[in-house]
Chain A
Amino acid sequence: MSTETLHQTWYMTQRQLTAIMRQPIFLVVTLVQPVIWLFLFGALFHKVVELPGFGAGSYLDYLVPGVVVMSAVSSNMWAGMGTLEEIERGTLNRFLTTPVSRAALMNANVVQQGLSTAAQSVLIVLLGKLGGADYPGGVLGLLVLIVVSALLGTVFGASSNAVGMLVRQRESIIGINSFLLLPLTFLSSAFMAPGLMPSWMRHVAAFNPVNWALVSGRSAMAADPDWGDVLGRGGALLALAVVAVWLSTRTFRSYQQSV
């Protein structure tokens, strides 16, 4: 990647971050939602830790990574809406007729979404701490959680952008997202210990990237991390994120046919 592309990526990222800061409502909404999940699920499932075989001390400890990961999915899967808005407004077309590299345009989305996801994750972790959650894995464990949630966010953000550019319809994004969010979350160990899931669900979860992020994050956050799990699932997520970003950059070509 040339230094010019890096510069361009920075300028485009800066533009997006400024836009976010200027729309505080948007910030508030993306932050309030995880808070609600944290306290609703926390209250609702409070007692599940008492089930034999759950294997965690407090449900809040178990829940924090679940909400971090679910929030990463749910906020990034709407990225395509922003892309659609930029297409409709003509902003994307304006950029595409300048010498800016396509990689810089897509990378700016990735960097911005990654930073936003990381900020959101940090906030949830802090809220959890405030509510009395314990993080035996320390700062390193939390760092891994934040990195894998950002990677997972990238997978969903890039895919959502690609869908936005290909189908150019809000309804499709809304449909896909409402269809995917709950199954992806509940076919994972987000809220329920794998040992207590039906075995078919456990098998499905093994192929669910959402679960990879959870396994990787939770392992790293344990008092005695299994680094094989952390790096194995984390590596798989990284690979998936790279593929998703590459594919979304490719969608510029098909966009050129339909513009």
Chain B
Amino acid sequence: MTTAAPAVEAGGLTKTYAGGVKALDGMGVTVAAGTVFGLLGPNGAGKSTTVKILTTLARPDAGTARVAGHDALRHPDRVRRAIGVVAQKSGADPVATGRENLLLQGRLHGMRGTALTARADELLARFDLAAAAKRQVRTYSGGMQRRLDVALGLMHRPQVLFLDEPTTGLDPEARTAMWQEISRLAGDEGLTILLTTHYLEEADRLAERIAIVDRGRVVTEGSPDELKGELRGDAVHVELRDAPDEVDARLLATALGEFAAVREVAVDGRRIAARADDGPAAVPHVLAVLEQQGATVASVTVARPSLDDVYLRYAGRRFADAEEAAGAKSAGGAA
């Protein structure tokens, strides 16, 4: 399974739009088959442009893109058969009913007869749209429309699913439900998923690997834990029941310091602070050392660095600030 070719493999992508906007500047992404990959970045980073190229909608100025084993630039038709696309903008036909939208989508993929209708009804049930199946889509709530969008992307059982901001605009409850559905797709159905998001939390929760995108290229990539681990250090805080005297405190610090997994040990009264590459893994060892030294532990907490910290480090600005800057830019420019 791990030897299979990547489901998505793109590199050196550049694209400049007519107005001179450089949307992509050496963008690249590789997604292993059967995994969920997250593209995380602020407004205007180039996430949607990347998705449009990988889904054969747009053409890059330069670079290569292979999806599901086919060259997206030379054989877009083959790629289209293998992919499901949920674009940032809902593509459903508002005047058609939910079911009609699904049936047409299936037909365009060559599905016919009972295979077609059974699949449509299965998806309507699964996305909790069965009751609204015969209503025109313009009467749907935002959450219902988004669920229909995902159902449309899944209609023909694609190998690779692209989700461009699947949860933007959803309320927390709908978002949680969508997260569960996406996790299920990845888990039970072995689908390869490339999703884009603004939400650090979403990428952290859904994606096995994440690429942080800023200004048209990937600034860093890894599993959420790797990325956070690269910040060299969870903060480990231990509170002792009794404050050690000065000598004991020095002994404790020395004992902990001998042990490679933790650094920057500081004992201050009852509180011991240290940094560890992998905080949770270090906790049992820290506890063992303290017990050996005869200290009684009242509590232990591990604070992990957030993806926001990662973003700050690689993009050189806070995620929220980048969002704000992009927002101000687009509000100032023409619509």
B107 near A11 with CB under 8 A, answer: yes
Bound-state CA distance A26–B136 (Å) is 17
State which size class the interface on B falls in.
20 to 34
> Counting CB contacts under 8 A, is A131 at the interface?
no
Residues of chain B contacted by A100 (CB below 8 angstroms) = 108
Of the stretches B84-92, B192-200, B258-266, B318-326, the one at the interface is B84-92
* 47-89 of chain B: CB within 8 A of chain A: 52, 55-59, 77, 80-81, 83, 85, 87-89
> Counting CB contacts under 8 A, is A199 at the interface?
no
Bound-state CA distance A257–B89 (Å) is 19
Residues of chain A contacted by B95 (CB below 8 angstroms) = 18-19, 22-23
Q: Is the interface of A mostly helix, strand, loop or mixed?
A: helix
Of the stretches A87-95, A189-197, A241-249, the one at the interface is A87-95
Residues of chain B contacted by A8 (CB below 8 angstroms) = 107-108
Bound-state CA distance A91–B93 (Å) is 6
Interchain CB contact (< 8 A) of A256 among B59, B85, B89, B94? B59
Residues of chain A contacted by B93 (CB below 8 angstroms) = 15, 19, 91
A89 near B94 with CB under 8 A, answer: yes
Residues of chain B contacted by A88 (CB below 8 angstroms) = 89
Residues of chain A contacted by B59 (CB below 8 angstroms) = 256-257
A90-B17 CB under 8 A given contacts A18-B95, A99-B81 = no
Bound-state CA distance A93–B56 (Å) is 10
Residues of chain B contacted by A94 (CB below 8 angstroms) = 85, 87, 91-92, 105, 152
Bound-state CA distance A23–B109 (Å) is 28
Cross-chain pair count, CB within 8 angstroms: 78
* 216-259 of chain A: CB within 8 A of chain B: 256-259
Chain A residue nearest to B15 in the complex (CB):
A257
A90 near B87 with CB under 8 A, answer: yes
A256 near B108 with CB under 8 A, answer: no
Residues of chain B contacted by A259 (CB below 8 angstroms) = 52, 57-58
- Chain A 3-20, CB-CB to B under 8 Å as 1, else 0, gives 010011001100100110
* 90-118 of chain A: CB within 8 A of chain B: 90-91, 93-100
Bound-state CA distance A101–B107 (Å) is 12
Bound-state CA distance A19–B97 (Å) is 10
Residues of chain B contacted by A97 (CB below 8 angstroms) = 55-57, 80, 83, 85, 87
> Counting CB contacts under 8 A, is B255 at the interface?
no
Chain A residue nearest to B19 in the complex (CB):
A258
A90-B80 CB under 8 A given contacts A98-B109, A99-B108 = no
* 165-210 of chain B: CB within 8 A of chain A: none
A96-B107 CB under 8 A given contacts A19-B95, A90-B87, A90-B91 = no
CB distance from A172 to the nearest CB of B (A): 15
Residues of chain B contacted by A93 (CB below 8 angstroms) = 52, 57, 87, 89, 91
The chain B residues found within 8 Å of chain A, CB to CB, are: 17-18, 52, 55-59, 77, 80-81, 83, 85, 87-96, 100, 104-105, 107-110, 136, 152
Other A-B pairs beyond A19-B93, A94-B105, A95-B108, 17, CB < 8 Å = A8-B107, A8-B108, A11-B104, A11-B108, A19-B96, A89-B94, A90-B87, A93-B57, A93-B87, A94-B85, A96-B57, A97-B87, A98-B105, A98-B109, A99-B77, A258-B17, A259-B58
List the 9 closest A-B pairs by CB distance, nearest first. Answer: A94-B91, A90-B89, A90-B91, A19-B95, A98-B108, A100-B108, A97-B85, A99-B80, A97-B55
